[in-house]
Amino acid sequence: MEYRTVFHKKLQEIQDDVTRMGGLVGDAIQSSVDALTGQDLDLANRIVEGDKRINQLRFDIEEKCVQLIATQQPIASDLRNLVAVLNIITEMERIGDYAVGIGKITVMIGHEPPLKPLVDIPRMAVQTVDMLRRSLDAFIAGDADSAQRITLEDDIVDDLYEKVFKELLGIMMKDGETVTRATRLIWVAHDLERSADRVTNICERVVFVVTGKMEEI
Amino acid sequence: MDERTSPGQKDFTIGTEGVSLYYGAFRALRDVTLEIQPRSITAIIGPSGCGKSTLLRLFNRMNDLIPGVRVEGKVLVDGASVYDRDTDVVALRKRVGMVFQKPNLFPSSVRDNLVVGPRQHGLKNEAQLSEIVERSLRQVALWDEVKDQLKRPAQSLSVGQQQRLCIARTLTVEPEVILMDESCSALDPESTLRIEELMHDLARTYTILTVTHNMEQAARVSDMSAFLMMDEDRAGTLVEYAPTGEIFSNPKDKRTEAYITGRFG
């Protein structure tokens, strides 16, 4: 017999909110790079504006967690779950900020002629958003193995970052006129690289929920 | 916070307005105004002697049994003032059921305990009485455990089962409000959680007011919490009344904070 149905229903609601926030953050990252490649300043501005919603959702979820901890005395995996949520939403909120950063860079350089067709930066975005989505699936499913595997994919994003960095450095060395635009694109790549790192942190939290072990992966 | 726990959603029909209660010259409650949310669970918490049970017993006039009791102000149940001179107290106690600290079953069978209320209110048809027995036992999730032993002495059940039977007995007369005075304090942890589950189910239909010393239970089980404490004249006053999530995560009054964090009381 299940004795704490009310508590577990509320925990489920919080998990649903986390998934929803993940969807918004993933969309923000993807859209920010779409805006950059398509030089779509309107879309870039909408991403900057839309971050308020993500921030609010983060505070709403945090408030729910605090109230649930205060009223339901969660223990064991329930407690780890809520602690993980508090960490995961912080990581996601920062990924949302990276999307804002990319949006602002698009606004800054979007009216200038593109340096080159962007290939690897969109790849980084697709990879990062996919990792984020699967990390949250692993969280909801309590799947530590999947979470561990996702962390390995951070290397793909790191390698792409290295590639983009070297390529843009080469462009800058050839033509001093490109320095400003190329530097900003490096920032974009760096934002995406950091986003993937934060997904890795989310995966560490998933492992913590399932195994109780806190470790850097 | 879901709708049924948001204050001000429904007309104020259950609660108190400026209620003071005296035992002789001693004022036990001072100027308590409390608007109870229908179909929700309200926990009344506070240190010993602050008037929690006294406040609870206003709603079915159980305090009347104590000599020298005097009530000022208004106590409303379903919009009617229960201390009006023409109030039918028997009818009031049908609408406002009560479950006590310890099971207080009659020394008779499970079934007899459940039919006594409806019979007292005039129901004689055995088939209808049997329906009520089954329905009320199902409502407290006891039917499967006792359906083949309805003639068994009620007092031979486990204490947890007896307490659920007491709740079932309250439900047989179809009340609107259920008062629970420390109703889990005599129970083991498992039985306590079963009653808490049951309270959540019942709160879809009934308005529940519960008094408890168990802070964790008040936090877990209730939608709204009322914190009472004694003032300098030792009269119980309402310090804070708010959604339970707020009371237990961010109380507005320092005295509430001090009490729930165990710094006094």
User: What is residue A144's predicted lDDT score, i.e. its pLDDT?
Assistant: 96
The first and second tokens of residue B96, run together, are: 């406002």
Q: Examine residue B94 and state whether it is found in any structural domain, yes or no.
A: yes
User: What is residue A215's predicted lDDT score, i.e. its pLDDT?
Assistant: 82
Q: Examine residue B225 and state whether it is found in any structural domain, yes or no.
A: yes
User: What is residue A42's predicted lDDT score, i.e. its pLDDT?
Assistant: 97
Contact assignment for A72 to B190 by CB distance below 8 Å: no
Rounded distance between C-alpha atoms, residue B193 and residue B198, angstroms: 8
Contact assignment for A3 to B246 by CB distance below 8 Å: no
Q: What is the mean pLDDT of chain A?
A: 95
Nearest to B193 among A3, A67, A70 (CB): A3
Domains defined along chain A, listed by start:
5-211 (1.20.58.220)
Interhelix angle A144-152/A179-211, rounded to 10 degrees, is 160
CATH code of the domain containing B84:
3.40.50.300
If you measure CA to CA, which chain A residue comes closest to B218?
A71
Give the pairing type, strands B26-36 and B14-23. antiparallel
Q: Examine residue B127 and state whether it is found in any structural domain, yes or no.
A: no
User: Residue B187 is part of which domain span?
Assistant: 3-104+176-260
Per the CB < 8 A criterion, the answer to whether B44 and B52 are in contact is yes
Number of domains in chain B: 1
User: What is residue A188's predicted lDDT score, i.e. its pLDDT?
Assistant: 98
For residue range A124-177, list pLDDT tens digits in order: 999 999 999 999 999 999 999 999 999 999 999 999 999 999 999 999 999 999
Q: Examine residue B140 and state whether it is found in any structural domain, yes or no.
A: no
Rounded distance between C-alpha atoms, residue B52 and residue A63, angstroms: 29
**Cβ-Cβ contacts under 8 Å, A66 against chain B:** 249
Rounded to 5 degrees, φ, ψ at A20 are -65, -45
Contact assignment for A1 to B219 by CB distance below 8 Å: no
Mean pLDDT of successive 10-residue segments in chain B (265 residues)?
A: 41 87 95 96 96 96 92 94 93 95 95 96 95 96 95 96 96 96 91 93 96 93 96 94 94 92 75
User: What is residue B8's predicted lDDT score, i.e. its pLDDT?
Assistant: 41
User: What is residue B264's predicted lDDT score, i.e. its pLDDT?
Assistant: 74
For residue B77, give Cα distances in angstroms to B16, B42, B212: 9, 15, 21
User: What is residue A77's predicted lDDT score, i.e. its pLDDT?
Assistant: 87
Q: Examine residue B142 and state whether it is found in any structural domain, yes or no.
A: no
Is A65 strand, coil or helix? helix
Nearest to A4 among B193, B246, B248 (CB): B193
User: What is residue B100's predicted lDDT score, i.e. its pLDDT?
Assistant: 95
Rounded distance between C-alpha atoms, residue A190 and residue A211, angstroms: 32
Q: DSSP secondary structure string, chain B?
A: --GGGSTTSS---EEEEEEEEEETTEEEEEEEEEEEPTTSEEEEE-STTSSHHHHHHHTTTGGGGSTTEEEEEEEEETTEETTSTT--HHHHHHHEEEE-SS----SSBHHHHHHHHHHHTT---HHHHHHHHHHHHHHTT-HHHHTT-TTSBGGGS-HHHHHHHHHHHHHTT--SEEEEESTTTTS-HHHHHHHHHHHHHHTTTSEEEEE-S-HHHHHHH-SEEEEEEE-TTS-EEEEEEEEHHHHHHS-SSHHHHHHHTTS--
Give the pairing type, strands B177-181 and B14-23. unpaired
With tokens 């900003």, the residue in question is A184
Rounded distance between C-alpha atoms, residue B259 and residue B182, angstroms: 18
For residue range A74-115, list pLDDT tens digits in order: 988 899 999 999 999 999 999 999 999 999 999 999 999 899
Q: Examine residue B133 and state whether it is found in any structural domain, yes or no.
A: no
Contact assignment for B248 to A71 by CB distance below 8 Å: yes
If you measure CA to CA, which chain A residue comes closest to B225?
A71
The pTM of the full predicted model, rounded to 2 decimals, is 0.83
User: What is residue B11's predicted lDDT score, i.e. its pLDDT?
Assistant: 54
User: What is residue B265's predicted lDDT score, i.e. its pLDDT?
Assistant: 59
Per the CB < 8 A criterion, the answer to whether B211 and B30 are in contact is no
Nearest to A133 by CA among A55, A195, A41, A213: A195
If you measure CA to CA, which chain A residue comes closest to B223?
A71
Q: Examine residue B110 and state whether it is found in any structural domain, yes or no.
A: no
Task: Work out the percent of chain A whose per-residue pLDDT is above 70.
Answer: 100
Averaged pLDDT for residues A60-65: 97
Per the CB < 8 A criterion, the answer to whether A31 and A41 are in contact is no
Contact assignment for A66 to B200 by CB distance below 8 Å: no
Rounded distance between C-alpha atoms, residue A147 and residue A215, angstroms: 13
